[in-house]
Amino acid sequence: MRRLLSCLAVAAVTTAGCTSGSDEAAPEEDFQPAAAPQIEVDLLQELDEPVRVGVVLTSSGPRGEGAEFAALAAGARVAEFRLDEPDADRVQLEVVDDRGTAEGALAATEQLVTSGVAGIVYASAGAHLDPALAAAEVAGTAVLLPYDPRESAAGATTWRTGPSEGQVADRVAELLAERAQRAPLVLTAEGQGAGLPELADPSRVAALTAGDALVPQVSSAAAALTSGGADGVVVAASAPTSAETVAALQAVAPTVPVVLGPAALAPAFAGTLTDLGASGGATTAGQFFTVGPAATDTSAEDGVVRFLAAVRLAAQDVELTSLDGATGFGQAGAATADVRGHDAVLAIAAAAAAAGSASPSAVLDALRELDLDAADGLAGPALSFTAGSQALDDDGVAVLQGTTRGAGRGVEEDAPALSWFVLPTGTP
């Protein structure tokens, strides 16, 4: 049984006494160590059995079908780490790979439903999820979607715990207005970015095709930037396609600010852009903005502080494995662990605690009455499951600015080359 590591902040203080014609020593100051963040989440002590939570990942498949979120889902393991106890496994994650197909998604969900998991965290996105969500609804099993913004991905047992398409579009519109950008160029691919084309004149909207045709398509659309017909760019695509689009934009309009969809928060965006930069085709030093949960920055909020402390400790636990079970969690997991996957697992555990049962029907009923925030262990914004399929409120969706990652920053030196910080409201 693995044992949770303890975190202790130690302050070493030396006091030099000095005399000025007096034998009386200067009084020593009494500095106390800073209190260690409380990383354990005590929710499940009253349950006789562990809460089994299904986690579905997409390891491969077409772009736009969620493979870029598999790395972020490492946060689910951090939630398990926090909910467990030194002498008891309170949460057990059952991880299945759907391989990016509708058939795989249905098979993965049916496997988890048959095994009787308390609920499912579907850490992917895209239309291939739809048959799986319908099957979970028939089975009466709760499914949480931390990364899929599609408003069509809804059902009586499905909740989005990340931003919706409408919330993203609203925040992007506010950002453009604050920056006085009234003529944006909107570029979409892989069917992403619903609601964003409405922000621009139809003549400045282009649906791109990833692959060899991407660069000439971007160059053609970017003519509106060089001619003065457009004053900014909005890009909505999968993480790698977004990076390739940005690289193509930088070749013709290197200083234009780019607003990206939430997929840019996936490590694949910064990773692809960095790889393209190695060949001289891009830079991560551009002006990048996106939309997401506010806790992706290094804020001093209690929930974020506890989450980051837990991530660091989880990286040191030699018995903790990655979600695929093939390697240790280690620094690789710490580099990408995201609050959204963490909070989705914690919400299912909180529902089981409220129900006093880990049965899927009891968890589903309890979840429908649940409101959670940092006091309950969340790392990100508050979640409410009581009104419709959107658990994340508008107030929990923030505009984030990308910053080139400096040396020594982050949990892990191999973390993606961009860090994201909340952009204060009203910042031009």
Secondary structure string (H, E, C) spanning the chain? CCCCCCCCCCCCCCCCCCCCCCCCCCCCCCCCCCCCCCCCCCCCCCCCCCEEEEEEECCCCCCCCCHHHCCHHHHHHHHHHHHCECCECCEEEEEEECCCCHHHHHHHHHHHHHHCCCEEEECCCCHHHHHHHHHHHHHCCCEEECCCCCCCCCECCEEECCCCHHHHHHHHHHHHHHCCCCCEEEEEECCCCCCCHHHCCHHHEEEECCCCCHHHHHHHHCHHHHCCCCCEEEEECCHHHHHHHHHHHHHHCCCCCEEECHHHHCHHHHHHHHHHHHCCCCCCCCCEEEEEEHHHCCCCCHHHHHHHHHHHHHHHCCCCECCCCCCECHHHHHHHCCHHHHHHHHHHHHHHHHHCCCCHHHHHHHHCCCEECHHHCCCCCCEECCCCCECECHHHEEEEEEEECCCCCCCCCCCCCEEEEECCCCCC
For residue 397, which phi and psi values (nearest 5 degrees)?
-110, 120
Given this model, what pLDDT does residue 86 score? 83
Strand pairing of 288-293 and 397-404? antiparallel
Stretch among 82-86, 110-114, 390-394, 413-417 having the lowest mean pLDDT: 413-417
Given this model, what pLDDT does residue 29 score? 65
Percent of the chain topping pLDDT 70: 87
What is the CATH classification number for the domain harbouring 124? Answer: 3.40.50.2300
Euclidean distance between CA atoms 335 and 332, whole angstroms:
5
Residue 384 has pLDDT above 90, yes or no: yes
The answer on 170 and 154 residing in a single domain is no
Residue 266 has pLDDT above 60, yes or no: yes
Using pLDDT thresholds of 50, 70 and 90, give the confidence band for residue 16: very low
Given this model, what pLDDT does residue 15 score? 28
The answer on 152 and 182 residing in a single domain is no
The answer on 383 and 333 residing in a single domain is yes
Instruction: Determine the structural domain holding residue 134 and report its residue range.
Output: 51-163+299-393
The answer on 214 and 121 residing in a single domain is no
In a domain, 250, yes or no: yes
Using pLDDT thresholds of 50, 70 and 90, give the confidence band for residue 286: confident
Mean pLDDT of 123-151: 97
Mean pLDDT of 86-107: 95
For residue 270, which phi and psi values (nearest 5 degrees)?
-65, -35
The upper half-sphere exposure of residue 268, i.e. CA atoms within 13 Å in the direction of its Cβ, equals: 20
In a domain, 36, yes or no: no
From 255, 242, 201, 248, select the one nearest 222 (Cα to Cα). 248
The answer on 207 and 68 residing in a single domain is no
The answer on 187 and 327 residing in a single domain is no
In tens, the pLDDT along 24-73 reads 555 566 666 656 668 899 999 999 999 999 999 999 999 999 999 999 99
The answer on 120 and 81 residing in a single domain is yes
The answer on 349 and 377 residing in a single domain is yes
In a domain, 311, yes or no: yes
The answer on 405 and 340 residing in a single domain is no
The upper half-sphere exposure of residue 67, i.e. CA atoms within 13 Å in the direction of its Cβ, equals: 12
Mean pLDDT of 311-322: 94
In a domain, 329, yes or no: yes
Report how far apart, in Å, the C-alpha atoms of 46 and of each of 51, 93, 344, 349 are: 11, 19, 21, 12
The answer on 411 and 275 residing in a single domain is yes
Question: How many domains in the chain?
Answer: 2
In a domain, 40, yes or no: no
Using pLDDT thresholds of 50, 70 and 90, give the confidence band for residue 418: confident
Averaged pLDDT of the chain: 88
Q: Which residues have a Cβ under 8 Å from the Cβ of 170 and sit 6 or more positions away?
A: 394
The answer on 267 and 218 residing in a single domain is yes
Cα 346 to chain centroid distance, Å, stands at 14
In tens, the pLDDT along 343-377 reads 999 999 999 999 999 999 999 999 999 999 999 99
Mean pLDDT of 395-403: 92
Mean pLDDT of 154-175: 96
Given this model, what pLDDT does residue 31 score? 61
Residue 416 has pLDDT above 90, yes or no: no
The answer on 89 and 200 residing in a single domain is no
Mean pLDDT of 189-202: 95
Using pLDDT thresholds of 50, 70 and 90, give the confidence band for residue 12: very low
Q: In what order do the strands lie in the sheet with 51-57?
A: 91-97, 51-57, 119-122, 143-145, 158-160
In a domain, 43, yes or no: no
Using pLDDT thresholds of 50, 70 and 90, give the confidence band for residue 17: very low
In a domain, 2, yes or no: no
In a domain, 307, yes or no: yes
Residue 7 has pLDDT above 50, yes or no: no
Residue 9 has pLDDT above 50, yes or no: no
Percent of the chain topping pLDDT 90: 74
Which residue(s) pair with 402 in the sheet?
Answer: 420
Using pLDDT thresholds of 50, 70 and 90, give the confidence band for residue 299: confident
